[in-house]
Chain A
Amino acid sequence: MINSRITQKIAFFGLFLATLLIVLPVGMILVIIVQKGWPAITWQFLTDMPRQGMRAGGIFPAIVGTIYLVGGAIMFALPIGLLAAIYLCEYARHSVITRIIKLAIVNLSGVPSVVYGLFGLALFVVFFRFGVSILSGSLTLGIMILPIIVTASREALESVPYSFREVSLSLGASKWQTIRHIVLPNAIPGILTGTILGLGRAAGETAPILFTVAAFYLPQLPTSLFDQAMALPYHLYVISTQVPNVDEKIRYGTALVLLTLVLVMNLIAIVIRAQFRKKKKW
């Protein structure tokens, strides 16, 4: 008896320690970034162009660039990813080929982001002649987050009970009507979760935008899809490693803004998801 109580305590302690080890670094990163970056956050920092070779002024073009890139990536990846997920989940026959396709999609999310960057350079910048532009960058980021969105959407679609589909079909509804009116509305929360994950990944990655869109120093706002643009992750890399004598608080301030931006995007998606969950009636 005593033995089992001791093992229970050891197990509990081990599990607690593992959880603590996960929470601790995240908390520390947050604390350090907020502590060091907060003094830099002023209205001017958020809305002004960078000045004096990025050692002063603001980061406005990088914020705008990141929002454009993430928006473009989602606009490209969400519809295509969702349609592909619907096809794979509802229409594709159960065959070896579909299994290989599904496996390939899952594995795509493990491809290093710099590979996507090179792919985007070859396909969009060079082959399609989009140049180093917001369009090329958005499409590259979009392709990078496609597997995340497809996988999450598929799981969301599969989690809708089969009996709902059967009931709908048994009332004489067509397959598409069943998907449109029963399956999709109940899968939206899960699909949005995938979108949130994709958003965060697209906003934070540096490598895919390195060759396809990012400008080193461009103190003006982009005016078309074919313009280059600054972006927060790349800007952070540049002022941390490429430009000497940048004030530490500007670097941490930039990191804080990037973090907050991702958080705000996630929050919006979480609120929408909560709205749909409230409407869900089972």
Chain B
Amino acid sequence: MVTFDIQKLSVWLGSTQALKNISMQVQAHEILTIIGPSNSGKTTFLRMLNRLNELGPRFRREGALLFDGTDIAALDAQIVRKKIGMVFALPLPLPLSIFDNVAYGARMHGVRNQKQLRAIVERSLQEAYLWDEVKDRLDTSAFKLSGGQQQRLCIARTLAVEPEVILFDEPCSGLDPISTAKVEDAMVKLKQRYTIVLVTNNVKQAARVGDRTAFFLSGELIELDKTDKMFTAPQYRRTEDYIRGKFG
């Protein structure tokens, strides 16, 4: 099953070309990790998938980006973003209580029933392995949580909308190793029900959680393969250099 089918995708943000002629597929229920040095276009690629790039000025794209067979530009942006959730690089709780953060998406999509909302919040927090830590203080501000807890709250908030795909944009860049391990655990377990695309600066993280790994460099897709193979016998010299830490 193919979730995303990308053909010859090029993207310009202003006058700089951020993505150059990318062709690849994202399979359903896999964790696809994307590695590459900064400025290699990984985040731009990720933000293409839920149509966040187009919010900025002077955005232009060429090529096809099919989601379940339909080009995402032909779909309603709100529906695209509901089906394709995103967890950002920094923990970004909304200035609301823990409960309201998780319930936000459901409320925006018309769920008014308090009982139903409570069920959604509990289920999502449990899926993000945060429920036990916050169940007694759901009404306190989300900003009172630690960084790692905030990031899992953001995951719960994304899950509450019941997406099909979850995009992670360097979700552990600001977290300590223990919080990172918790977030990674959550991701691996989420794979059974969601398709996951993970952008990471941490090569080891890609090796730990990825089924397949893509290597981006200067806006180009250099190599895409099974994670095991990529990390043992990469096809290209540049991939090997990056993985071994020789540049980037």
Q: Which residues of A contact B (CB under 8 A)?
A: 94, 163-164, 166-174, 177, 181-182, 185-186, 280-282
Contact = CB atoms under 8 A, between A and B. Distances in A.
A196 to B, nearest CB: 23
A95 to B, nearest CB: 10
Contacts of A174: 78, 108
Contact of B88 (A167, A173, A280): A167
A172 B95 contact: no
A172 B96 contact: no
A179 to B, nearest CB: 12
B161 A182 contact: no
Nearest to B104: A171
Nearest to B57: A94
Nearest to A280: B95
Given A168-B94, A170-B52, A181-B108, 8 more contacts: A167-B94, A169-B52, A171-B104, A172-B82, A172-B108, A172-B161, A281-B96, A281-B143
A170 B57 CA distance: 17
Contacts of B81: 169-172
Interface string B34-78: 000000000000000010100101000000000000000000001
A281 B154 CA distance: 16
A186 B93 CA distance: 14
Interface of B: 50, 52, 55, 57, 78-79, 81-82, 85-86, 88, 90, 92, 94-97, 104-105, 108-109, 141-143, 154, 157-158, 161
Chain A interface, >50% SS class:
helix
Contacts of A280: 95
A281 B145 CA distance: 12
Contact of B141 (A166, A185, A186, A281): A281
B49 to A, nearest CB: 11
6 contacts: A164-B94, A168-B94, A168-B108, A170-B88, A172-B78, A185-B95
A164 to B, nearest CB: 6
Contacts of B85: 170-171
A177 B82 CA distance: 14
A94 B81 CA distance: 24
B95 A169 contact: no
Which of B78, B95, B104: most chain A CB closer than 10 A? B95
B157 A171 contact: yes
Which of A94, A164, A173, A281: most chain B CB closer than 10 A? A281
Given A281-B141, A281-B142, A170 B94 contact: no
Contact of B79 (A163, A172, A181): A172
B108 A171 contact: yes
B117 to A, nearest CB: 14
A173 B96 contact: no
Contact of A173 (B52, B55, B57, B108): B108
Nearest to B141: A281
A234 to B, nearest CB: 44
Contacts of B104: 168, 171, 173, 181
Contacts of B94: 164, 167-168, 182
B180 to A, nearest CB: 21
A166 B53 CA distance: 10
A121 to B, nearest CB: 43
A81 B94 CA distance: 26
A48 B95 CA distance: 50
A282 B90 CA distance: 15
A166 B55 contact: yes
Contacts of B109: 172
A282 B88 contact: no
Contacts of B78: 172-174
A97 to B, nearest CB: 15
Enumerate the 7 nearest inter-chain pairs by beta-carbon distance, A residue then B residue, closest first.
A172-B82, A281-B141, A171-B105, A173-B108, A281-B95, A170-B86, A172-B81
Nearest to B160: A171
Contacts of A282: 95, 143
B59 to A, nearest CB: 13
Nearest to A174: B78
Nearest to A173: B108
